[in-house]
Amino acid sequence: SPRTPLADRSPDELRSFLEEKRAAYATLVERGLRLDLTRGKPSAEQLDLSEALLSLPDGHTDRAGTDVRNYGGLEGLVELREMFAELLGVETAQIVAGGNASLTMMHDVLVFHLLHGGLDSPRPWKDEEVVRFVCPVPGYDRHYTMLESYGIEMVTVPMLADGPDVDAVEALVRDDPSVKGMWIVPTYANPAGSVVTQEVAARLASMPAAAPDFRIFWDNAYALHHLTEDEAKSADIVSLASAGGHPHRPVVFASTSKVTLAGAGVAFLAGSRETVQWYLGHLKFASIGPDKVNHLRHVQFFGSPDGVRAHMAEHRRILAPKFAAVDAALSAELDGLGIAEWTRPRGGYFVSLDVPDGCAARIVALAKDAGIALTPAGASFPHGRDPHDRNIRLAPSFPVLDEVETAMAGVATCVALAAAEQLVGDVG
């Protein structure tokens, strides 16, 4: 029978619901679990899909006959750049293959803007009185901590199903020249799972900006990470920005961290040809060249863009049941109670769970005491502060399926308990 929402229950009914959940929670604590849903790491089973990489490359010369063991080739192996240019929808001259972390490339791009300024910058950003970034929330914690480490102010806008609230972004960017950039995870966003539509991307690419050097940090970390057959197509931000008269506005990032080996993949940077040359022009003082041995083994391992797509289908086979388990556990405990909403993402690595205002930190603490580690409440907001204390990021990729089921049933119990406590007005 359909459940009565908690808000419609009588005080007596609520008290007995609370007692029931306290008992369920006590049983949960007694089980002495030790489970971890904190970070979006690939599981060992996923890493095993790339085991063959450890026996590659076969030989040590690239297509042009260059010995990849040696120095040089700052822009990366051309055959790997071709492969990912196709997958990311740019031209080969518009993409660089680098080291193992796209986060490092984002950091370099930010620091180069601070120290030197970008194409179109009137002066280095460090010489501005204040630098602000637009941050869609909820979003990726490392984006915020990176800005925070350089004293860059963060202005939040809501992340909606079709991307950042573009009306809000346009209004912030139009009149304030201190707004120099924004973060976007365009495809299967961390943590909301949203996909930026072609229409929203077109507006972001062409909107008037008071800062001539306004940058979109387009972090397409999950471009290829589909969980269903309904595969999202990433908007072509580089072409849209070029057509909109702001060719250097977007800087695109991606990596194979969640394709091959999270700690030993290849990261990519893309943008206008001038953006690529600007980036390499600063990078050349820091590096003689990337790990081309790793580039070559990735080329051999995948064979072609279709090889990458086939490999991603293997990830999906492992990941999709875990996401289904998250949904099933939350639905089983919480459907109809009117206390929680969560995403059913079509790709990426996260489920975003919204609970009653003021309950997220309590739920994470309850789960911790029951041996279930969750991402700290507020982590998906600048400075770790969720103004409503209502969002929890769930990352089901790392534990085995059975553990995801157990952990999520436990989390659902914690949500029900915290909501009941709040309604009864008894946090004891």
Q: Give the residues lining the site for ligand PMP (CB under 6 A).
A: 40, 101-103, 140, 185, 190, 219, 221, 255, 257, 267
CB count within 10 Å of CB 269 equals: 26
Of 334 and 392, CB closest to ligand PMP? 392
Nearest to 90 by CA among 251, 199, 222: 251
C-beta of residue 194 within 8 angstroms of C-beta of residue 160: yes
C-beta of residue 184 within 8 angstroms of C-beta of residue 163: yes
Q: Is the dihedral of CA 112, 116, 120, 123 positive or negative?
A: positive
Tell the smallest beta-carbon distance from residue 99 to ligand PMP (Å).
9
Of 62 and 219, CB closest to ligand PMP? 219
Tell the smallest beta-carbon distance from residue 210 to ligand PMP (Å).
27
Rounded to whole angstroms, how far apart are CA atoms 65 and 58?
14
3-state helix/strand/coil string of 34-76: CEEECCCCCCHHHHHCCHHHHHCCCCCECCCCCECCCCCCCCC
Of 188 and 214, CB closest to ligand PMP? 188
Rounded to whole angstroms, how far apart are CA atoms 179 and 163?
19
Tell the smallest beta-carbon distance from residue 200 to ligand PMP (Å).
18
Of 103 and 237, CB closest to ligand PMP? 103
Of 25 and 140, CB closest to ligand PMP? 140
Tell the smallest beta-carbon distance from residue 34 to ligand PMP (Å).
23
Which residues share a beta bridge with 126? none
Tell the smallest beta-carbon distance from residue 253 to ligand PMP (Å).
7
Of 102 and 275, CB closest to ligand PMP? 102
Of 42 and 57, CB closest to ligand PMP? 42
Tell the smallest beta-carbon distance from residue 190 to ligand PMP (Å).
4
Amino acid at 326: V
Of 37 and 221, CB closest to ligand PMP? 221
Tell the smallest beta-carbon distance from residue 379 to ligand PMP (Å).
12
**Can you spell out the DSSP letters for 280-308?**
HHHHTTT-S---HHHHHHHHHHH-SHHHH
Cis peptide before 57 (omega within 30 of 0): yes
C-beta of residue 237 within 8 angstroms of C-beta of residue 186: yes
Tell the smallest beta-carbon distance from residue 41 to ligand PMP (Å).
8
Of 119 and 269, CB closest to ligand PMP? 269
Rounded to whole angstroms, how far apart are CA atoms 394 and 340?
14
Quickly tell me which residue has 């790339």 as its tokens.
50
Tokens of 39: 């970070």
Collapsed DSSP state (helix, strand, coil) of residue 199: helix
What values do phi and psi take at 184, rounded to 5?
Answer: -145, 130
Of 90 and 189, CB closest to ligand PMP? 189
Which residues share a beta bridge with 179? 132
Rounded to whole angstroms, how far apart are CA atoms 212 and 122?
8
Of 370 and 392, CB closest to ligand PMP? 392
**Can you spell out the DSSP letters for 79-131?**
HHHHHHHHHHTS-GGGEEE-SS-HHHHHHHHHHHHHHT--TT-SS-GGGSS--
